[in-house]
């Protein structure tokens, strides 16, 4: 076994496990020891499931030795965001009110990981109820690149653990940007699938029609493996679509020659800091060198839909918390409590106006993608914000809108996106950009991401821990 196994790519680990060069049992033990050593300061895990992991690793090793290899997650240590139900294991969703909740069933994504033979290291910390802020009683995960910088929003634990080599892949959720923000902040690859591509059964809701579950990994190839396992129809979730699931990993070598990539320079630069602009421009140059057809285009204005995101999320969050709010409002932190109160105060007329505008924007985005295949945009307006700056963001509605400008529109439309490391600030903080595609064209996003990562090494950089 490598002296430094924790930073191997998932695809590499899977191949070594398959041929017997890596032992799932020894690898799992090494990962548990690394978590024990580092996570006291990084705080990415809400719960470490050491006994479960050891048992699953032993089972995987025995199966593989007798030739019953299940696929590229078999025997690989992974982790899931602590809003995915795990039978008999606490699932708190970042909320002290649920700290003793032990589900009587697994979420579909956890079931599919188990069926693939993955090893569950534990549950990853998140903001309260998967909204913007951590509950005041729960210390947030720490960015492994620099403790003074933001570790991302809701899926912060997933971003930190994946970047720090505390799992080989993780699951995050994204309602307004919470796969993409922590992927960008921690220098990992995050895929927000099309809404309905991955079942949400057994996952705590923030806002049902905006919530997406997706992989957070160290490469596009690794994300292709994870999405291939978790995607697909689910009889327990009628919103999980019936579309067949491609072999995403097998499609990666097709590359992006001739793929039409749209660039809206005004959209990409207005209010965006120079480090982020440079990373996006550099990525466009690389994609063009790889044979993509780069085209100037004007993306539909997201201004209205970005403003509408908060009240839409708020009213759906109020529905999700109806059983415990306002009955137990005193146990909620101020951020989530404030969101729910906004939702409970929204009128039917105002909600209907939002839904009408949402339908119109979806149509505009669909029309935009008639002539192009991918859109390249920043991950966020600021390359690597500090924790202190993000703590005051809520005081300025315009700043919140700028933060959501490149993420929330694609939760509203349900469009798939991939977030890719694309550079570093002068202080050594990772910077990312996004590719966006038509619904159910995650294969194209992954091809684009993989081609970019074959030509660059940003995703291979590791934090100084």
Any idea which residues carry the catalytic annotation?
81, 154, 178
**Residue among 203, 183, 196 at smallest CA distance from 93:** 203
Residue with tokens 């327990």, as numbered in its chain: 236
Task: Using only the alpha carbons of the chain, give its radius of gyration.
Answer: 21
- The answer to whether the bond into 326 is cis (omega within 30° of 0) is yes
Residue 213, number of CB atoms within 10 A of its CB: 28
287 contacts 452 by C-beta, under 8 angstroms: yes
| Three-class DSSP category at 293 | strand
The rounded distance, in Å, linking the Cα atoms of 150 and 140 is: 10
Residue 465, number of CB atoms within 10 A of its CB: 14
Residue with tokens 């933001």, as numbered in its chain: 150
**Residue among 449, 423, 453, 431 at smallest CA distance from 381:** 431
Cβ neighbors of 281 (< 8 A, separation 6 or more) are none
184 contacts 431 by C-beta, under 8 angstroms: yes
182 contacts 159 by C-beta, under 8 angstroms: yes
Residue with tokens 């550079």, as numbered in its chain: 423
163 contacts 187 by C-beta, under 8 angstroms: yes
17 contacts 27 by C-beta, under 8 angstroms: yes
C-alpha distances in angstroms, 437 versus 72, 138, 194, 428?
26, 36, 9, 30
Give φ, ψ of 119 to 5 degrees.
-105, 120
**Residue among 364, 372, 383 at smallest CA distance from 423:** 383
Task: Give first-to-last CA distance, the chain, whole Å.
Answer: 21
| Three-class DSSP category at 111 | helix
């Amino acid at each position: 076994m490598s002296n430094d196994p924790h930073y191997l790519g998932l695809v590499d680990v899977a191949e070594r496990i398959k041929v017997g060069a890596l032992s799932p049992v020894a690898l799992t033990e090494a990962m548990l020891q690394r978590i024990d050593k580092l996570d006291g300061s990084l705080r990415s895990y809400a719960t470490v499931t050491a006994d479960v992991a050891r048992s699953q690793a032993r089972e995987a090793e025995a199966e593989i030795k007798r030739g019953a290899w299940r696929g590229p997650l078999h025997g690989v240590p992974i982790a899931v965001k602590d809003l995915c139900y795990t039978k008999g294991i606490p699932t708190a969703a970042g909320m002290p009110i649920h700290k003793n909740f032990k589900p009587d069933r697994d979420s579909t994504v956890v079931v599919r990981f188990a069926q693939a033979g993955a090893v569950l290291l534990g549950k990853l910390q998140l903001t309260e109820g998967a909204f913007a802020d951590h509950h005041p009683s729960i210390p947030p995960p720490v960015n492994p690149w620099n403790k003074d910088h933001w570790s991302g929003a809701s899926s912060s634990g997933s971003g930190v653990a994946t970047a720090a080599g505390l799992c080989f892949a993780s699951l995050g959720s994204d309602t307004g940007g919470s796969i993409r923000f922590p992927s960008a902040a921690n220098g990992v690859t995050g895929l927000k699938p099309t809404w309905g591509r991955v079942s949400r059964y057994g996952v705590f809701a923030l806002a049902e029609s905006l919530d997406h579950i997706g992989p957070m990994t160290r490469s596009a190839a690794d994300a292709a493996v994870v999405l291939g396992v978790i995607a697909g129809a689910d009889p327990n979730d009628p919103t999980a679509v019936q579309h067949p699931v491609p072999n995403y990993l097998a499609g990666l070598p097709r590359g992006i020659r001739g793929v039409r990539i749209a660039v809206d320079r005004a959209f990409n630069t207005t209010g965006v800091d120079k480090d982020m602009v440079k990373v996006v421009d550099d990525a466009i140059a690389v994609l063009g060198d790889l044979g993509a057809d780069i085209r100037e285009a004007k993306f539909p204005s997201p201004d209205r839909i970005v403003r509408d995101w908060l009240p839409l999320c708020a009213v759906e969050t109020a529905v999700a918390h109806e059983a415990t709010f306002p009955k137990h409002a005193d146990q909620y932190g101020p951020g989530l409590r404030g969101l729910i109160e906004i939702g409970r105060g929204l009128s039917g007329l105002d909600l209907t106006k939002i839904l009408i505008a949402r339908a119109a924007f979806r149509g505009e985005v669909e029309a935009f993608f008639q002539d192009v295949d991918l859109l390249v945009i920043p991950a966020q307006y600021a390359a690597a914000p500090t924790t202190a700056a993000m703590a005051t963001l809520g005081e300025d509605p315009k700043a919140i809108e700028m933060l959501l400008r490149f993420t929330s529109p694609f939760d509203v439309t349900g469009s798939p996106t991939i977030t890719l490391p694309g550079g570093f600030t002068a202080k050594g903080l990772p910077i990312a950009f996004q590719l966006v595609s038509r619904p159910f064209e995650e294969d194209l996003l992954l091809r684009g991401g993989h081609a970019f990562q074959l030509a660059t090494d940003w995703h291979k950089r590791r934090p100084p821990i």
